[in-house]
Amino acid sequence: MTINYRCKKCRSLLFTENEIQPHEPNSNEVSFGYRRRGGGGDCNSVFLKDKLVWMGPCDQNNGKIECPKCHYEVGTYTWSGNQCSCGKWISPAFQIATSKIDKEKPFTFPQHN
């Protein structure tokens, strides 16, 4: 069972959980100068292990990651690294905002809309 991640706008399959680089939320550092409730912020992004073909050349230090179908901006890449909302530093960062994608859980029924 693999969890698929789709564009929130057009539902194109963007990547699966196998492409995600898991990280431990960094609970020791205060991210962006403020504390989140309960200590250690929630991750509001996922980071991919590597750039994917549909992202294009990614030949700048940083730039947008757009859905290849509808060009909805789902995230950003930064070769020099970027910080997750939990405070963890990831480098290079292929950062996808979880608010801009749909996580397709294996046990949910397909939805028609």
Binding site for Zn ion (CB under 5 A): 7, 9-10, 12, 25, 43, 67, 69-70, 72, 84, 86, 88
CA–CA dist 77, 97 (Å, integer): 11
Q: Shortest distance, CB of residue 28 to Zn ion, whole angstroms? A: 13
| Residue type, position 70, single letter | C
Q: Shortest distance, CB of residue 23 to Zn ion, whole angstroms? A: 6
| Residue type, position 67, single letter | C
Q: Is the Cβ of residue 7 or residue 55 nearer to Zn ion in the bound state?
A: 7
Report residue 70: phi and psi, to 5°: -110, 0
Q: Is the Cβ of residue 1 or residue 22 nearer to Zn ion in the bound state?
A: 22
